[in-house]
């Protein structure tokens, strides 16, 4: 349930059929919240028209959010979201205000496998109500949900945890983009070489930027709360000339910010980064693949190498307000990079246990051949099984 307050929107959830409600902070992507008492936000970017539906065998929520259309200075566009409280996908605009002085309200209706958008447009001269069938939009939603299910099945075959799995960066890529296998969160790649299941960061300025909680030109995209795990396979090709960042995370809520990450040194040492504090621990070997992980659990941050804890630190993040800023970076974000290879990045919206970390496979050959081709193999096996019955 979304509640419009004076200067923000709050989300509440009930686990006893509506008898009691508790505030769910940061769990619904796109919901507008006031960042600080002295900061004024564009309240027209609020979320509305929240409904629940069962589509493609999956329980989801659908809702709309205002955003900015191209070259517009105010929120005149309407975007459509679908989320299963795990992943989220938005597209649009599905409607745009055509007249400057018109304001619209919207409602979504889903019944008998059909999706409709009900709009009321008002101005000082009167109002108009319209009902439009969202055939193409529903087709897109079904395609996205089908992809989510297929990917879950694929990763489960390798005993990789899928509960809380938000996004995966593996073999899918485009021009300067590392595409999320779940179609939700793409990363931006700078001056890197595509390799199987990832990228090789070969140049001093090579890097991968992955913003996951953002306020873009169109809509506010919030994916993570104060609990997450990022897992990746990395190979350091050669020793750097000085301390070099490998993986970093920048986090922030309304009250404070926090950075955490992993670096590697010229003398083959690992190092943890917690804000300005750097601690060296353990050793690495050139050419050897490692599984690295960053984890945030409440107000504690953790760094792991191959499932073993490398360091931990308390943060100033309280968990009482959503993470306004969350982003990850591999390689050269602000400093020069030394050649490394990054593959198979998994992002979860919850902490993983030690046993679960070990289940997230390194790219040891078990996933070689690419996610897309493996899914095709699954489909062919299913077809062969059906053919064997006749």
Following DSSP, what letter does each residue of 146-201 receive, concatenated? HHHHHHHHHHHHTT---TTEEEEEEEEEETTEEEETTSS--EEEES-EEETTEEEE
User: What's the confidence (pLDDT) of residue 376?
Assistant: 46
More confident residue, 210 or 17: 210
**Cα(204)–Cα(189) distance, rounded to whole angstroms?**
13
Instruction: Write down the pTM of the prediction.
Output: 0.84
Report the percentage of the chain scoring pLDDT > 90.
Answer: 42
Burial environment of residue 38 by CB neighbours within 10 A (0 to 12, 13 to 18, 19 or more): exposed
Q: How far apart are the first and last CA of the chain?
A: 50
What does the pLDDT average to over 107-122? 90
Query: In this predicted model, which residue has the larger pLDDT, 331 or 150?
Result: 150
Res. 101 pLDDT band, cuts 50 70 90: low
Distance between alpha carbon 253 and the CA centroid of its chain, in Å? Answer: 17
* Mean pLDDT, the chain, whole residue set: 80
Quote the pLDDT of residue 327. 86
> pLDDT tens for residues 38-75?
444 555 567 778 899 999 999 999 998 877 665 556 66
Whether residue 37 is predicted with pLDDT greater than 50 in this model: the reply is no
- Banded model confidence at residue 382, pLDDT cuts 50, 70, 90: very low
Helix (H) or strand (E) holding 372: helix 371-388
pLDDT exceeds cutoff 70 at 286 = yes
Least confident among 58-67, 120-129, 293-302, 338-347: 120-129
Give yes or no for residue 292 having a pLDDT over 90. yes
Q: Residue 35: pLDDT above 80?
A: no
pLDDT grade for 229, boundaries at 50, 70 and 90: very high
Give the lowest-confidence range in 81-85, 216-220, 377-381.
377-381
The domains of the chain, with CATH numbers, are: 2-143 (2.120.10.10), 159-363+371-375 (2.60.120.200)
Which pLDDT band holds residue 346 (cuts at 50, 70, 90)? very high
Q: Confidence band (pLDDT; 50, 70, 90) for 378?
A: very low
Residue 295 burial (CB < 10 Å; 0-12/13-18/19+)?
buried
Q: 18-32, 175-189, 253-267, 320-334: lowest mean pLDDT where?
A: 18-32
Write out pLDDT tens, residues 150-180.
Answer: 999 999 999 999 999 999 999 999 889 999 9
Query: What pLDDT was estimated at residue 39?
Result: 43
Indicate whether 8 pLDDT > 80: no
Question: What pLDDT does residue 40 have?
Answer: 46
Which pLDDT does position 323 carry in this prediction?
64
**Res. 92 pLDDT band, cuts 50 70 90:** confident
Q: Which pLDDT score, from 0 to 100, does residue 121 have?
A: 76
A 10 A CB-CB count for 47 gives 22
Pick the residue with more confidence: 87 or 32?
A: 87
For residue 387, what pLDDT is reported? 37
CA 390 to chain centre: 43
Q: What is the mean pLDDT of residues 189-209?
A: 93
Is the model's pLDDT at 296 over the cut of 70? Answer: yes
């Amino acid at each position: 349930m979304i509640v419009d307050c004076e200067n923000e929107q709050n989300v509440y959830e009930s686990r006893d059929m509506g008898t009691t409600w508790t505030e769910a902070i940061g769990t619904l992507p796109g919901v507008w919240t006031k960042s600080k008492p002295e900061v004024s936000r564009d309240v027209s970017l609020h979320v509305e028209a929240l409904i629940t539906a069962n589509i493609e065998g999956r329980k989801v929520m659908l809702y709309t959010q205002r955003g900015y259309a191209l070259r517009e200075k105010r929120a005149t566009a309407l975007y459509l979201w679908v989320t299963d409280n795990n992943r989220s996908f938005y597209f649009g605009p599905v409607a745009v205000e055509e007249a400057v002085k018109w304001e619209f309200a919207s409602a979504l209706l889903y019944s008998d496998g059909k999706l409709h958008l009900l709009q009321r447009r008002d101005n000082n001269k009167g109002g108009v109500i319209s009902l439009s069938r969202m055939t193409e939009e529903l087709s897109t939603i079904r395609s996205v949900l089908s992809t989510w299910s297929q990917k879950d099945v694929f990763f489960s075959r390798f005993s990789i945890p899928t509960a809380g799995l938000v996004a995966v960066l593996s073999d899918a890529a485009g021009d300067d983009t590392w595409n999320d296998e779940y179609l939700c969160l793409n990363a931006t790649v700078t001056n890197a070489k595509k390799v199987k299941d990832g990228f090789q960061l070969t140049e001093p300025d090579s890097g991968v930027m992955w913003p996951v909680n953002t306020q873009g030109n169109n809509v506010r995209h919030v994916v993570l709360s104060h609990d997450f795990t990022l897992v990746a396979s990395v190979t350091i090709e050669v020793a750097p000339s000085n301390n070099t960042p490998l993986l970093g995370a920048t986090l922030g809520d309304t009250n404070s910010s926090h950075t955490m990450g992993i670096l590697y040194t010229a003398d083959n040492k690992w190092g943890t980064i917690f804000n300005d504090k750097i601690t060296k621990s353990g050793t690495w070997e050139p050419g050897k693949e490692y599984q690295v992980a960053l984890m945030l659990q409440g107000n504690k941050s953790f760094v792991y190498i191959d499932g073993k804890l490398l360091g931990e630190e308390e943060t100033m993040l309280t968990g009482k307000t959503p993470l306004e800023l969350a982003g990850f970076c591999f390689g050269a974000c602000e400093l020069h990079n030394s050649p490394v290879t990054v593959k198979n990045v998994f992002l979860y919206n919850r902490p993983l246990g030690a046993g679960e970390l070990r289940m997230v496979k390194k790219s040891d050959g078990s996933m070689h051949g690419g996610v897309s081709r493996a899914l095709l193999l699954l489909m062919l096996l299913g077809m062969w099984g059906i053919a064997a019955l006749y």
